[in-house]
Each structure stands twice: as structure tokens, then as C-alpha cells.
Structure 1
Amino acid sequence: MKLVTIQSQQGAQLGVLTGEGILNVPEALAVVADANAPRTTHQVIEGGASALQALQSYVERALAAAPADKAKFIKPESDIAFGPSVPKPSKIICVGLNYRRHAEETNAPIPASPILFNKFDNTLTGHLCDIPLPRTSSKVDYEVELCIVIGKQAKYVEKADALDYVFGYTVVNDISARDLQMRTSQWLLGKSCDGFSPLGPYLVSADEVGDPNNLNLKLSVNGEVRQNSNTSDMIFHCDEIVSYISQHMTLYPGDIILTGTPEGVVLGYPEDKQVYLKAGDVMTVEIEKLGVLTNRMVSE
């Protein structure tokens, strides 16, 4: 199932991608009542397989409604204001230098253990939302990444069981201000500017994805492909990442993990060929089975 966050005057609302468009669940429930249907993205994540089944059953009921009724709660994607596909994660954990060829292009040693850092919810934004270029940086870069969404509380999880704790996956662009990132040994400043984690457009349940380490992913700027790789190039695969983090902190439903980026970032180019993002640049981020995330950089 593909879930969507719809931004509305009432706040973030749960949507579901259907063959007829985006079904707004709260608006549908006002027309086709169902006490058992989950009403928010977090309720679906936390409820796992049973919540997904309840939501799927409800969507089928709602799609069987009369056309005049369906027009009240189904809209084409072009009419949707997208929010981040996971609206309120309690943790945003990132893995740095997790693709072999990316580590090589930046002349960094291959990590012996996952390099972890964090971001905050001020970085979250949605598909088709503009992202401000911070006034304090002149070296803003892009990073296509697979994002893991935790579905069950996890602590001291074994690698063999780790993917059982994953609800699903989404697309994220880990935008990075390189001059701020490299100012000190801690990367947080360059990673946590406003809007630096566009997420979406869909949150895709794990059953639709299969092996998360066999997905093509790419990123284009103004139509020019800059990154083109496969998640199989990860140094630490998704199961190992979830297991490793759970040895040190409890993961909760809705927590998200950004799993690293492949080669092709601006930072990896020779210095005389580095052209960082500027106002008007449009980034298109795509991961197989997960959809296409598009955002434009604008002057702050």
C-alpha cells in the first residue's frame, strides 16, 4: 500500500494512492463511516499488518461508493498538497558514507561501523515543496537516499530479524550544506537547515518493496542525471543498520533511518568542476517501487 500525507487547512491528513487518485481518509470517513479504519499515518504504522488490512478493506468500501460521493474525497495527484510521507517521526537517524563508491569518490576510508548522525523535524518537507537555500551557505548539495520507516519497537534486535521491525520505505533527499557540514568534525549544522529532508511522495509498505537492498535509485538536477546506482552498493545493508542502531537505542514506530547516498554528489567532483545547487534548480529523486520525489531550490 502507498500512503500519502495530505497538507490541508486541518493539518496533515492520511491519504492512500488508488487507481482513481488520492483518497483522503478523513474526508472519506465523513461520507462512508467505519469505526475500524485507521485515521492517521502513525496509526497505520503502529498498527502494522492488521491496520494495513483494515485500511485496505476500508479503501475498497469507499471506492465502491457512488461517483458523486467519491468526488468528495478522491482527487487527482495534481490537486494534492503533499506533506512529508512520515509526518512526525520521533527520531531521524542518518547513516553517513554507506555506499562504497560514494566513500571512494570523497576519498574517505570505508567505515568499519555505521557512521550515525541525526537531523530534526524542521528539515522535513514534502513532494513539490520549495526548499530555501540558506543564506549562510554557498555549497548546497543533494543526496538521494532510501529511507527506512520503523514499524515496531525495537531494542537489541538480531540482524536476521531486523526487517521484521520495518513498516516500509520512502524516498528522501538528504540535502547537505557542505561548507557548514565540514566547518567542524560534527556534521549536524550542514544537515539540519530548514527543509533539508524532503520525504515522499509515498510511504510504501514493506510487502510491496521486497528486498530493500536491490532497488535502483537515481537523482537528476534540471533533467541531468547526477546519481544512478543500486542499494546493493550499501556497505551496511538495511537489516544490519536496523540491528546496529537497536543495540544502542530503542527504535519506535514512525522513526526513520536515512541509509546513505551513492556516488555522484557535487562534493565528489574535482574542485574545479563542483557546481552546487542554486535558486531555480529542480531535483528529481527516484527509487524503484517507491516513486519520484521532486523539489525546487529557492532563495531564502
Structure 2
Amino acid sequence: MKIISFSHQKKSRWGVVNEGVVLPLNSSQYPTLLSALRAEKLQEIAASANSAARILLDQVEFLPVIPEPGKIFCVGHNYEEHRVETGRDPTRFPLLFMRVGESQAGHQQPILMPAESTQLDYEGEIAVVIGKAGRRIAEADAWNYVAGYSAYNDGSVRDWQKHTLQFTAGKNFTGTGAFGPWMVTRDEIADGEELTLETRLNGRVMQRTTTAAMIFSIPVLIEYISTFTSLQPGDVIVTGTPGGVGAKRVPPVWMKPGDKVEVEVGKVGVLVNSIAADATRF
């Protein structure tokens, strides 16, 4: 199944995508995809979709797949080509940092270039959505905790990322991380199946790889993260970007207002965003 979070007639909803239409699923008991995941009843609820209430897909505003996840774990330098281009030493353990929900945008929504920087970079990635709570999950059992997969653009404000050795500031500007267009549930992608990942900027291929090139596989990441914290339904693991980021090109390639960036994940779909300037003040 393809499951999306969306807004229609100024109301946030969620539902199943089927041949260009959305079958809404929200109810008073399960108003969001996150609430359905936390109840661990996603398949059961999705089976109750009412085709009579369908909405055309082109009439909805996409939201991030999980608009307000409890935790977003991002994995740095998880492809050898990217590790080499950044000059990072090999490590026995995954490099992790966190994102907050406010830093996300949905499919077809603008990624926001902050007024404080001109160094906005793309990072196409595969996102894993957790479907079952667990702690100290063994690698061999890890697939059973996956609800599904999506595309992610871990947009990076490079100069702010380099202010210190920690990535938090450069990875959490509002609206810089895109997540979508939907989640494809685990039953449609075989456990361990090799998925392709490609990032295009204004139609030009900038990154291309497959999950076979990951340094730390999805089960390894789930085992490692669940060792130090509990994984909860709706938590997200953004599994890393391949080589070819804009910051390491000669000369560097930065995204700018008016650009179009696409992240395509095989068997999932294409996440598409424009770039817009953000000078929001309150």
C-alpha cells in the first residue's frame, strides 16, 4: 500500500493512494497516520478504506509522511563514496544525528533556503518508518519492526553545519528536509530487497546508488539505535546519502530559489520539491 498524510480543504488527513485517488482513513480514533502506527493496527485500519469518499490525488496538499514523528534519526556517511568524498575516517559504528519535525516539508512543497545562508545542499536518502515498538532489537529480527519506506531529502545548510563538529544547526532549519511523497508498506518490498536511489537537480543526475552500497544495513541501524533508546511506531530512520553532494563538487553546487530537486527511490516513487527563499519573521 501507499499511505500518505495530506491536507484537503484546510484539514489534515491521511489515507491510501490507489490509481490517482486517495481513500481517506482518518477517524476520531485514528486521526493521523502516526496514531494508527502507534496502535499497531495500520493494515487493519487501511482495509476499512471507503472508496465512496475518495479524493483526487491532484486535489490534495501533501504533508510529510509523518508530520510530527517522535524521533527522526539521520545516518551520516553511510555510503563509502560519500565517506571518501568528505574525508571521514572509517568507523565501526553508525554516525547519527537528529532532526526535528518542524524541519520537514512534504512532497511538492518548497524546501526553504534560509536567509542566513547560500549553501543549501541536497542529500537524497531512503527513509525507514518504524511500525512496532522495540528495545534492543536483534539484527535478525529487525525487518519485523519496519512499517514501510519513503524518500527523503536531508537538505543541509552547509556553512551552519560546519559551525561545530555537531550537525544539529545545519540540519534543522525550518522546511529544509523533505519527506514523501508517501510510505510504501513493507508487504510491497521484500526484506533486504536492493532499492535504487537517485537525486536529480533541475533534471541533472547528481547522485545514484543502491542500498547494496550501504556501509551499515537497515537491520544493523535498527539494532544499533534500539540499543540506546526505544524505537516507537512512527519513528523515522533516514539511512544516509551517497556520493555526489553539491558541497564536494568543483565548483560547489548549491540549490537556489527556483530550482527543482527530485529524489527517486525504486519501488517507492519520486519526491519532488522546488526551492524557495525563507525570510520568515514572527
Is 2:259 the counterpart of 1:281? yes
2:267 and 2:191 mapped to 1: Cα distance?
11
Partner AA of 1:283 in structure 2? V
Counterpart in the other structure of 1:67:
none
1:293 and 2:271 are equivalent in the alignment: yes
Matched with 1:53 is 44
Task: Report 1:195-210 matches (<5 A).
Answer: 195-210=175-190
Gap runs ≥5 in structure 2 = none
Q: Structure 2 CA distance, aligned partners of 1:20 and 1:179?
A: 40
- Residue identity in the other structure for 1:40: T
Kept in 1, the 8 Å contact 2:156–2:171? The answer is yes
- In the TM superposition, 1:108-123 aligns within 5 A as 108-123=88-103
TM-score by length of 2: 0.93
Farther-moved stretch of structure 1 (145-154 vs 39-48): 39-48
SS in 2 for 1:52: helix
- Tell me by how many angstroms 1:212 deviates: 4.7
Cα distance, 1:159 vs structure 2: 0.7
Instruction: Map 1:56-71; keep pairs closer than 5 Å.
Output: 56=47, 58-59=48-49, 62-63=50-51, 70=52
Please say if residues 97 and 111 of structure 1, whose CA atoms lie closer than 8 Å, have aligned partners that are also in contact. Answer: no
Distance 1:288 1:123, change over 3 A: same
Deviates more, 1:190-199 or 1:203-212: 203-212
Contact 2:64 2:105 survives alignment (8 Å): yes
Matched-pair contact (CA < 8 Å) for 2:247–2:253: no
Deviation digits for residues 209-242 of structure 1 (CA, Å, limit 9, x no counterpart): 2235610010101111111110111100000000
Residue pair 2:5, 2:32 contacting (<8 A) in 1 also: no
CA 1:230–1:77: 2 relative to 1, 3 Å: same
- Separation (CA, whole Å) in 2 of partners of 1:186 and 1:192: 12
Q: Any idea what SS the aligned residue of 1:247 has? A: helix
Assess if the C-alpha contact under 8 Å between 1:85 and 1:201 holds in 2: yes
1:10 Cα deviation from its structure 2 partner: 5.2
Cα deviation code 1:264-287 (max 9, x no counterpart): 1112223xx212111101001110
Q: Structure 2 CA distance, aligned partners of 1:213 and 1:277?
A: 31
Structure 2 counterpart of 1:41: 33
Structure 1 CA distance, aligned partners of 2:60 and 2:216?
Answer: 36
Residue 13 of structure 1 aligns to which amino acid in structure 2?
R
Letter in 1 for 2:132: K
Matches within 5 A, 1:256-271: 256-270=236-250
CA distance in 2, matches of 1:189, 1:25: 36
Q: CA separation of 1:190/1:242 partners in 2, compared to 1, >3 Å: closer, same or farther?
A: same
Shift of 1:21: 1.2
Match of 1:32 in 2: none
The amino acid that maps onto 1:184 is: T
Taking the aligned partners of 1:258 and 1:8, their CA distance within structure 2 comes to 27
Equivalent residue for 2:74, pick from 82, 90, 94: 94
TM-score after normalising by structure 1 = 0.88
Contact 1:227-1:262 at 8 Å conserved across structures: yes
2:202 is aligned to 222
Whose strand proportion is higher, 1 or 2?
2
Q: Separation in 2 of the partners of 1:17 and 1:76?
A: 9
Q: 2:130 aligns with which of 126, 129, 150?
A: 150
Matches of 1:258 and 1:104, distance apart in 2: 20
AA matched with 1:85: V
Following the alignment from structure 2 to structure 1, what is the Cα–Cα distance between the partners of residues 183 and 115?
Answer: 32
Structure whose CA Rg is larger: 1
**Shift in Å, 1:25:** 2.6
State the identity as a percent.
35
1:240-261 per-position Cα deviation (integer Å, ceiling 9, x unaligned): 0000001101111111111100
Are residues 1:166 and 2:146 paired? yes
